[in-house]
Amino acid sequence: MSLLPEPLRIPAFRAYWIARLAATIAQMAMVIVIGWQVYDIARETMDVKDAALRLGFIGVVQFVPLFALSLVAGWTADRVDRRFIARAAVALELGCAATLALVTWADAMSLYWLYGIAALLGVARAFAGPALGALAPNLVPRAILPNAIALSSIAWQSGTVVGPAIGGYLYAVSPATPYEASAVLFAVSLIGLFLIKPVERPAREKGGNPWAEVGDGLRYVRRNRLVLGAISLDLFAVLLGGATAMLPIFARDILHAGPEGLGHLRAAPAVGATLTAMWFAFRPLKTNVGVKMLVAVAVFGGATILFGFSRSMPLSLACLFLLGAADMLSVYVRQSLIQIYTPDAMRGRVGAVSTLFISASNELGEAESGFLAALVGPVVGVVGGGIGAILVVGLWAWRFPELRLARSFDPPEVSPSPAKESAR
């Protein structure tokens, strides 16, 4: 046990970490399989561009509930026991996985089922994101908080890339297998969350106006330029550079690799991100974290461009490996800065804004990639998105010098006054 990073030696944080990793893997496995099935069903009666349009709708139906509920979910995470919220959200996801498994067994799968379950997953993720993100700092001493936040981010990011790879491989076994595996992983996550005992949190004022408190969170993000720059960088860079959303198209119609090839393509960024995560778990960044984050996003864009041009499976896998490693570095820095620079009393609301931006980049990125592929073709869409991601890095480095000047994860001695006033 002594070989583990210090936060993972704490039973409550270890249970949390396993729960978050298992739930994220299950979520992302379901998302990639839902996307494949939507595209596969649509291709039976449509051409590539029309099927890509249907694939883009998956992003829309997931984003709508996230957009509608994230800010309310953030306020809830600052007022209600975060463990209860996370358990309810994971239980809903478990129900979604079991439903899709049953529908697949019955050979009754349709676009309506896939879109409906995707929307419910959006509801669950709207509440799970702020609650889980804000719970981690409550489980460890302040002295090791930066490392705990980094490990929490690593669990989330690793799951986002490992999950789709697992989903792709299991779908090659049978269409129902990834949903069955996801249900098991959600059950593991739920058990982990129930193992976390009540935790102490700073006293909160009771009876405040919910909408005013939601507004406090938005104002905090707007006024703290480091947090705003970090969150919005992810929004626009990933919104444009959404190569992974188009992997079903590349696997089937460009690289001609089929479902098993889809698993390989999703495994490549998973390997890159996981190796990077393992490195940071034992050797966390200490200097020039802001510059390194900006460089990582630029590399992400460059790898996206090269992947779009590739017609070779080995080269495509190498590009996706690099893309995953760069994305892991960027997420590690960004989430650590956001969590450390935010007071605990506002972590739910600020986490909700971050979740909303991340969801906008991921789900709307899927929609944007699908619609763009329908308009100009998948290759031009992916290459253009990679170029856009690089341009965003340059613009954000100029517009938010706070990112370039972030030397370490050490927060300032005094938090911005809006947060203090809200936390009192």
At 380-401, the pLDDT tens digits run: 888 888 898 899 999 999 999 9
pLDDT at 423: 37
Lowest mean pLDDT among 34-43, 86-95, 271-280, 370-379: 370-379
- Quick one: pLDDT band at residue 413, thresholds 50, 70, 90? very low
Average pLDDT of the segment spanning 245-262? 80
Q: pLDDT tens-digit profile of 185-235?
A: 999 999 999 999 987 765 555 555 666 776 777 788 888 888 888 888 877
Q: With a cut of 60, say whether residue 419 has pLDDT above it.
A: no
Detail the DSSP E strand segments found in 130-242: none
Sequence-ordered list of residues with C-beta below 8 angstroms from that of 279, at least 6 positions apart, any chain = none
Residue 205 within any structural domain of the chain: no
Is 317 part of a structural domain of the chain?
yes
Please list the alpha-helical segments (H only) found in 195-288: 210-223, 225-240, 247-249, 258-282
Mean pLDDT of 101-115: 91
**354 vs 400: CA distance, rounded Å:** 17
Give 405's DSSP letter. T
Strand, coil or helix: 342: coil
Range of the domain at 270: 6-198+210-423
Q: What percent of the chain has pLDDT over 90?
A: 28
Average pLDDT over residues 75-104: 93
**Cβ-based neighbour number of residue 68 at 10 Å:** 13
pLDDT of residue 91: 97
Whether residue 132 lies inside any domain: the answer is yes
Tell me what pLDDT residue 100 has.
95
Phi-psi region of 379 (alpha: psi -120 to 50; beta: other; left: phi over 0): alpha
- With both helix axes pointing from N to C terminus, report the angle between 258-282 and 11-43 in degrees, rounded to the nearest 10: 160
pLDDT, position 420: 40
Task: Tell me what pLDDT residue 418 has.
Answer: 40
Q: What is the pLDDT of residue 1?
A: 46
DSSP label of 341 = T
In a domain, 143, yes or no: yes
- Domain of 128, CATH number, reads 1.20.1250.20
Residue 1 falls inside a structural domain? no
**Distance (Å, whole) CA 136 – CA 151:** 9
Query: Higher confidence at residue 362 or residue 133?
Result: 133
pLDDT confidence of 83, banded at 50, 70, 90? very high
pLDDT greater at residue 237 or residue 135? 135
Given a cut of 70, whether residue 412 has pLDDT beyond it is: no
Of residues 399 and 71, the one with the higher pLDDT is 399
pLDDT score recorded for residue 424: 36
Looking at the structure of the chain, the number of domains it has is 1
**Any domain includes 417:** yes
Cβ pair 152, 336 in contact under 8 A = no
Residue 204 located in a structural domain: no
The pLDDT of 297-304, averaged and rounded, is 93
Q: What is the DSSP string of 296-331?
A: HHHHHHHHHHHHHH---HHHHHHHHHHHHHHHHHHH
Burial 175-204 (b: 16+ CB within 10 A, else e): bbbbbbbbbebbbbbbebbeebeeeebeee
Supply the mean pLDDT for the chain: 82
Distance CA 134, CA 342 (A): 10
Please check whether residue 144 lies inside any domain of the structure.
yes
Whether the pLDDT of residue 110 is over 70: the answer is yes
* Number of neighbours of residue 60 by Cβ within 10 angstroms: 18
